[in-house]
Structure 1
Amino acid sequence: MRKCLLPCLALLALPVPAAAQQREAWQAPTLSITRYDEDWSDLSDADKRAHHWTGPLKYIPIGDDAWLSTGIEVRARSERYGDNLWGGADAPDDAYLWLRAMPYVDLHVGKARAFVQPIAAYAVGVAPSASPIDQTRVDLLQAFGEVDLGPVTLRAGRQMLSLGTERLIGTRYGRNVPLAFDGARADMRVGKAVVSLLAMKPVQPGSGSFDDATSDTKALWGAYAALPELDIYYLGYRNRAARFGGVDGREIRHSLGFRSHGVRDNWHWNVEGVYQFGHFGGQRIAAWTLGTEVGHTFPTLPLAPDAMLRLNVVSGDKKAGDGRLGTFNALFPKGKYFGELSPVGPTNIISVNPRVSATLGGGLSASLTAMAYWRASKGDGVYDIPGNLIRAPGNGAPRFIGKEAEVAIAWQATPEWELSTSFSAFAPGAFIRDTGPAKTITMLGLESNFRF
């Protein structure tokens, strides 16, 4: 662990340009994870470009009605696990360092654009060995062309996807190599709604340079309509090499979902429900989930805390071999689904998750989170975030999987540079104790992220 932490701590101490420490009156677009949805066209005004040291790099005029935008992310993240997967992992005590750099170039020519973002991702100390999501070396993360036709925008190529709050389709930004897709997307503006049509295949990272490839087993298609406070969507999914309950087969799954979200005074909410149907290996699919998130901010209290309660119910399979598969498939969800430490994923689970966060001043923020997990169905086991079965149901009758606590602190040192740390502990419950190794998982995370 010491060897992993020293390079990370050294990166935390890197100096940044003095100008970057000045908060300017001009409000730049919010930096996003996908980067391509940042709009820097307002910097065509040379006076605005002069307001911040990044201005000349975010808008580079190159001719009549043509300009470039550039940027980069440099991240170092160190993680240390104790008794991972309750002591059942191949390397339960693991400490490693992730390093990645993701520069990008965004070329605009009239109503057309070309966006290119390579990635250099390396890992040090991963045991027993680094996987392609830890280390892909040098590869192409995103590269697409786009044309704006007024009410319709067409895009084709390699791109990251983020739909809603990423319960089903996310970037998996937290891991060292984010998730990307190859395919086409059309965004249509209809009144206040934006309707996105998708036809995609996920990208499978390779362990060497320039060997990431389009998946030949998985495909995603659908339509996602986003209104000011309501999302409605259909997503189709195919996997020729799916596996459920120890059975391999071809999976065709259809998801119908809605999401209600918004802010009223000091209240905020995000409620999402999904029903799935289709077939797998001769079985009929009938699965569902309901996720709720309700919070309240207290602006008159010291530190203006925000209290939030999340409740998720995700179906599992009731009985193997009955011709009906009730196991929910979260498709491509965000990587940190329940927090920084997420050994369990959104399949066959009931979770209760209260959280309190506060702004401490001086760019500091902190949060304290608790989680408790139960199996939704006794006939099904426990899954990780990608949907792999990590603890079979066996003869384990208890539903209770375990409880977790997490504290996180972040410091926005400059507009471009953030430092963060988190500590998590997951104590096993009766089901884990009855079905295998049952030690308490601990994880310490340290991160330095510089983006502009």
Structure 2
Amino acid sequence: MQIEVVKVKGMNRIGCVNGSKSTMNLLRPLISQGISAAKPRTFPARNPGSLLKWCLGAGTLGLACHVFAADPAPAANAAGTPAAPAAAPATPTAGAPFDWSKAPPVTAPPRPGMFSIPPTGPGYYSLWDVVTGNERQAPPVAPNAPYALMTTPAFEIDYRYMEKPGYEKDLFDPLKRIHMGEDFLLSFGGSFWYRYMRESDARLTNTSDNYHMMRSRFHADFWYQDKVRIFAEFLDARTFGQALTPAATDVNHTDMLNLFADIKLANVKEGPVYLRVGRQELLYGSQRLISTLDWVNTRRTFQGAKAFWRTPTFDLDAFWVRPMITQQSHFDNWDTKQEFFGLWGTYKPMKGQLVDMYFLSLDDNRNRAIGSNGLMGNSNTHTLGGRLAGDYNQFLYELEGMYQFGQYSNQDISAFAVASGAGYHFKGAPMNPQFWLRYDFASGDKNPNDGARNTFNQLFPFGNYYLGWIDRVGRQNIHDFNAQINLHPQPWATFTAQYHRFYLANKQDFLYNAAGAATLRDVTGQAGGYVGDEIDFRFNIHVNRQQDILVGYSKLFAGNFLKATAPGVSPDLFYVQYNMRF
């Protein structure tokens, strides 16, 4: 199986043809700076592990494409809520206009951990509904989740309801789903957010910081039927008034967040198979390992290639990408010293239930791994994991396990993490209450000079969501005993409260922050393992379909470890965020 690239009217068209070459051998030259050409990279002979991993990734995609082409079937789309399977579109009649009612296909956002179940039934579902006296009998059909933070990429927002007669009109409808003849579709959109931040003891220093963050995003989305797509999204992120040096995730002036092309390869059984090439956001499963990270001002993105298959009951992705390096005043480029590839499958046996299965590999050649006796080197981290999550008869549950192996400088990696939780939905009770009890663990390393590396690598996570919004604790070398309650005082208002108690998994290892950076350490272990307690409160007001306001407060109470390693530090955070999407 190989990929054939043909130049058609100034546009690359890619398809599967019979043959024996690996798919990825021809993909790699397409993936530098969006979808422009780049020189193929060869692995040095001294690094056979990297070559083996690359062959595995290329072989996976090549085999997938071979299977896909061998078994065509009518297409289907994975749309709607994460738990609801989408119906397959009818096979078009020869000569009939293309049916846009179920196209373009959309991947529903995956269910995170500590998920909440929104209210249903009669009520006011936005503050604007209250002002206008518009009491609804059920939640409205809307493209955006009613919350100021939304990790879902813009290219997965679903506007297909506009093809149905009698849908609820909106001010920005003229920008959406512009039909250009019978076969072409064009959409525009974007978002703007502003956040005020007030921090005390910021970044575990004795500095207080009050500052402002602004982010603008605009995108264009062009489709030829459901066969070819070109998506481009602009980003501009700025910060004002910071006392500390802005973090790398705070500022990115005038850049591209997404810039890719999709090509439909085939229909397999009940779903389409696509190939995506270019700059793209990735989001998978619980987002503990791979997330767009909407909390930060710049979001997270990658550049590379992904093949994906969507059916009502099973999704399968195979990808090879490199992380983007954020450069504040220059056009971002990918990190040529990091390779990230993986295979991710999600099985949805019934409404409300899911099973994730995945294998991920990160090849980091930046010479930053500190091994035994301080030896600097590279690292190869492989992650094998699985997850169960869902709700059943008002009970909520989740269990995820992750094991890592590979090489870290001159040490062998053996690390693991577990995330578990059980909850209950008091259905029918006032304010729609839901309660979670959880335990999260990620291994650490008590001896930096032995032959083993036991500290878990959290990869590219949405860490704040799970381990506190102050950002001082990451999923590395940590025990977290936590609880959460979700309330809806009104259908348009969401209140969330969390409590965390943190302990180091190994007293001799570092405390790692939400970005995975090592911050504080007592090599003797005499400071103890009790890091502290954190409380987090968030209140979201859903103003209308486009607008949300989020108010939050977090406080970290220092435990014995923090008192010994950062005396006098007990940080808190207050923020107000406004988000408008169109």
Matching residue's letter, 1:99: M
Post-superposition Cα deviations, 1:39-60, rounded to whole Å, max 9, x if no partner, equal 3234245x45663333332211
CA distance in 1, matches of 2:396, 2:429: 18
CA shift for structure 1 position 392: 1.9
Q: Does 1:404 align with 2:534?
A: yes
- 2:23 corresponding residue in structure 1: none
Q: Does 1:248 align with 2:388?
A: no
Q: Pick the aligned partner of 1:226 from 314, 329, 346.
A: 346
CA contact (8 A) 1:169 1:334 kept: yes
CA distance in 2, matches of 1:178, 1:85: 20
CA distance in 2, matches of 1:181, 1:138: 17
CA distance in 2, matches of 1:154, 1:121: 29
Matching residue's letter, 1:80: R
CA shift for structure 1 position 399: 0.9
Q: Pick the aligned partner of 1:130 from 246, 257, 261.
A: 246
Post-superposition Cα deviations, 1:314-346, rounded to whole Å, max 9, x if no partner, equal 000121111100010001111424232221111
Query: Quick check: 391-400 or 167-176, which moved more?
Result: 391-400
SS in 1 for 2:155: coil
CA contact (8 A) 1:316 1:328 kept: yes
CA distance in 2, matches of 1:67, 1:130: 40
Q: Does 1:184 align with 2:305?
A: yes
Q: How does 1:23-422 map to 2 (within 5 A)?
A: 27-31=141-145, 33-45=152-164, 47-48=165-166, 51-87=169-205, 92-110=207-225, 111-148=227-264, 149-151=266-268, 152-189=273-310, 192-209=313-330, 211-228=331-348, 229-241=354-366, 242-244=368-370, 248-336=376-464, 337-361=466-490, 363-397=492-526, 398-422=528-552
Matching residue's letter, 1:39: D
TM-score (structure 2 length as normaliser) = 0.71
CA distance in 1, matches of 2:132, 2:219: 20
Unmatched tracts of structure 1, length 5 or more: 1-14
CA contact (8 A) 1:173 1:335 kept: no
Matching residue's letter, 2:142: A
Matching residue's letter, 1:232: M
The change in CA–CA distance for 1:305 and 1:244 in structure 2 (over 3 A counts) is farther
Aligned length: 433
Matching residue's letter, 1:159: Q
CA distance in 2, matches of 1:192, 1:322: 45
RMSD: 2.4
CA contact (8 A) 2:536 2:553 kept: yes
Post-superposition Cα deviations, 1:223-266, rounded to whole Å, max 9, x if no partner, equal 00111111100000011123347653200010000010111021
Matching residue's letter, 2:558: P
SS in 2 for 1:155: strand
SS in 2 for 1:36: helix
Matching residue's letter, 2:224: V
Query: Quick check: 240-249 or 96-105, which moved more?
Result: 240-249
Query: Quick check: 258-267 or 123-132, which moved more?
Result: 123-132
Unmatched tracts of structure 2, length 5 or more: 1-126, 349-353
Identity %: 26
TM-score (structure 1 length as normaliser) = 0.90
Matching residue's letter, 2:215: R
CA distance in 2, matches of 1:253, 1:65: 45
- 1:429 corresponding residue in structure 2: 559
SS in 1 for 2:156: coil
SS in 2 for 1:332: coil
CA distance in 2, matches of 1:216, 1:417: 38
CA contact (8 A) 2:508 2:521 kept: no
CA shift for structure 1 position 300: 3.1
